[in-house]
Amino acid sequence: MPPISADFPLDMRYVLLGKVITMDTDLSVVNKGAVYVNRDTIEAVQPAASPPPDGFKDCLKINTKGTIYPGLIELHNHLSYNILPAWKVPKKYGNREQWRGDPDYRKFISGPMRMLAKERTGYLAALVRYVECKCLLAGVTTSQGITLASNAGVIKYYRGIVRNVEKPDDPALPAAKTRTDDVDDAEDFLQKLQDDSFHRRCRLLHLSEGKDQFARKQFLNLRLASGEWAITNALGGIHAAGLLAEDFPVLKANGGAIVWSPLSNLLLYGDTAMIQAAKENGLLIGLGSDWSPSGSKNLLGELKIAKIFSDVNGKIFSDEELVMMVTINAARILKWDSLLGSIEAGKRADLIVSHGSQGSGYRRLLRSSESDITLVVINGVPRCGTAKLMEAFDVETERLKIGPQQEERVLYLRQTAGTAFVGTLTLQEARNRLRTGLQNLPDPPNFIEPPLADLEEGMQPEVFTLVLDNDGEIGQSLRPLSPMLAPPPVAAAALEDILVPMELDELTVADDPAKYFSMLANQTNLPDYVKDKLPGFYPRLVHEISRRAAL
């Protein structure tokens, strides 16, 4: 039988040895375990000393010398913006409409994205390649998608290497639906929940972004005239920062879940969701890093912020519960838990490995940096890892070095299915192109898009443009500014008159940790306890910073 994935030239039958954090119902841990992978599926999880399943006696065996986890599932990220550096948030806001109407937002976020995505050519493939690799290096195997418009006149999501919640490219995984604008017709919204998602799909809704009355009103708008609520078990409310304690029982009673993005909330509003109330009401909780301008660089970093917030506010969550937010609970919110979110026989082989196996596996992940992620497998295909682990598979498209110690990572970015326009563009070429574009604002050069991946004879390639889902300009965005709160219409300054040269955001925290910690230390709204405690969650990086300072 040929392998299910044409991206992997091997038989796709192998075993990974290491400590296994299964995230199954019992939160089982197999200290000296073996995960048997048959093409795209986990065949078995058992002690390494047990006899192998049939067909695995002579298969490829890889001793990871690490801890094996399910791939991390991110339920909220505006991936297309993740080429931008962190925004120094100028003041505390009450809701999302306020910061999206700030002139600084146009100068440092929406303006640069419009210039590269709309006014210039040759940046789309580079952007997609870069932000996907940003996910891979941090162990993220599923995230929200990048929205595209094609010359065929349709809006679609990019199908890439990282699983896409809106376009999972697997008929067994129900595609989620995402809505970024507020609900103004509760009856219509409830009908959509019941028609296309009830018991089958997830609808991710940006819900009550902010801490003021306007933000909470977006939750109250879900109440129908009858007193019922436009909430079902299909709803995953992203942010939910404006909800009061009395709102969480309503969400729970109607089957809703929430997606928490604590760092972005803290940076913009100085506070986040009433997460203690969410837990006390038994809500399913997922996690999302939002985007690089006002959030964590990746989901691995957002886990640390969640841990810090939890501990400072009375140890709301155990380490196990935090890891559940990015594995099995995230899969449950998506209704993917029969196939993803845990390491169990019969599930898809989305796996990551973190360096070392001593102590608690949950604590280890919370204190891992990108330098500690030694292998990332999606659908059975090894996509990123250390040279030693990736060379065992004999697959490679390029190499790069990350972290202060310049540790080598091998990437396998071959993609025969999905959206073809990224083609043969390498990560290094993508990085150079984006860096050039941002550094040359307000007048970045045009580039020629890379050669397309092979298409079947007679097929005409689609031409794509990026849809900026957080643009903020009415008529140009999936989420225009609210007319109630948008600034009065005035002649907007030309982008060429306001944009300034910018730096490309680094792929990882590990690439320049001192700079990353300094950036957060200079954020006005971020609580001091986050600034003080976060470096301690990157022990290897802090040690290296100290070592270099002592030289």
pLDDT at 484: 47
Write the secondary structure of 480-523 as one string of H (helix), E (strand) and C (coil): CCCCCCCCCCCCCCCHHHHCCCCCCCCCCHHHCHHHHHHHHHCC
pLDDT surpassing 90 at residue 5? no
What's the chain's average pLDDT?
A: 90
H helices of 387-509, where? 387-393, 427-439, 495-498
Note the pLDDT of residue 492: 59
CA–CA separation, 109 and 128 (whole Å): 17
Q: What is the mean predicted confidence (pLDDT) over 522-535? A: 98
55-75 pLDDT, tens digit each: 999 999 999 999 999 999 999
For 13-70+342-411, which CATH superfamily applies? Urease, subunit C, domain 1 (2.30.40.10)
Q: What is the pLDDT of residue 148?
A: 80
pLDDT band at 160; cut points 50, 70, 90: confident
**Is-contact 433 83, C-beta < 8 A?**
no
Specify the pTM. Answer: 0.94
Parse the chain into domains and list their residue ranges. Answer: 13-70+342-411
What tokens appear for 531 in the block?
């600034």
Q: Is the pLDDT of residue 482 over 60?
A: no
Q: Which residue has the higher pLDDT, 495 or 309?
A: 309
Longest dimension (CA), the chain: 73
- pLDDT at residue 467 is higher than 70: yes
With CA atoms as reference, report the closest residue to 302 among 135, 91, 98, 518.
Answer: 135
Interatomic CA distance for residues 117 and 122, integer angstroms = 9
What's the pLDDT at 377?
98
Q: Is there a contact between 450 and 423 (Cβ–Cβ < 8 Å)?
A: yes
Distance CA(371)–CA(507), nearest Å, equals: 11
- Looking at residue 469, its pLDDT comes to 77
Looking at residue 86, its pLDDT comes to: 97
With beta carbons less than 8 A apart as the criterion, state whether 124 and 425 touch.
Answer: no
What pLDDT does residue 411 have? 97
CA-to-CA distance for 287 and 368, rounded, in angstroms? 17
